[in-house]
């Protein structure tokens, strides 16, 4: 009996998913060389037109969402007035980067800088 087709991705996500390398899109492609998550993240924020001032990787920048590698994993947090707010910890690098992207994309949608394509 043929396997059921996977559910369709939401319209906005499908355009982003088409641009992701196969290694990120699915487990079956895991045998292929993987792109560095930082490169995938950079491509996603560029496609979503998220300003570079909105985030920082491996440094604390006031007014930005930050991602830091720690001894046990990765921390994602909002940096305001030299304090870390809403700190989230991830053991997995991919999960940390995608969480950071999700927060940035949600903020861009809220402020009207990013909107789904109607079609």
Note down pLDDT in tens along the chain; length 119 residues. Answer: 455 544 444 444 444 555 555 545 555 555 455 568 888 888 888 888 889 999 999 988 899 999 999 999 999 999 888 788 899 999 999 999 999 999 999 888 887 777 766 66
pTM of full prediction above 0.85: no
- Partners of 78 in the β-ladder: 65, 85
pLDDT given at position 27: 52
Domains of the chain, residue spans: 36-110
Residue 86 · residue 41 · CB < 8 Å: no
């Amino acid at each position: 009996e043929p396997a059921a087709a996977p559910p369709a991705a939401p319209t906005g996500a499908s355009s982003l998913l088409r641009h992701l390398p196969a290694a990120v899109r699915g487990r079956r492609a895991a045998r292929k060389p993987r792109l560095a998550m930082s490169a995938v993240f950079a491509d996603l924020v560029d496609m979503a037109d998220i300003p570079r001032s909105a985030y920082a990787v491996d440094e604390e920048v006031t007014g930005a969402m930050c991602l830091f590698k720690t001894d046990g994993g990765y921390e994602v947090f909002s940096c305001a007035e030299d304090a870390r707010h809403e700190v989230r910890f991830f053991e997995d690098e991919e999960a940390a980067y995608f969480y950071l992207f999700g927060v940035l994309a949600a903020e861009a949608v809220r402020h009207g800088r990013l909107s789904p394509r109607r079609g």
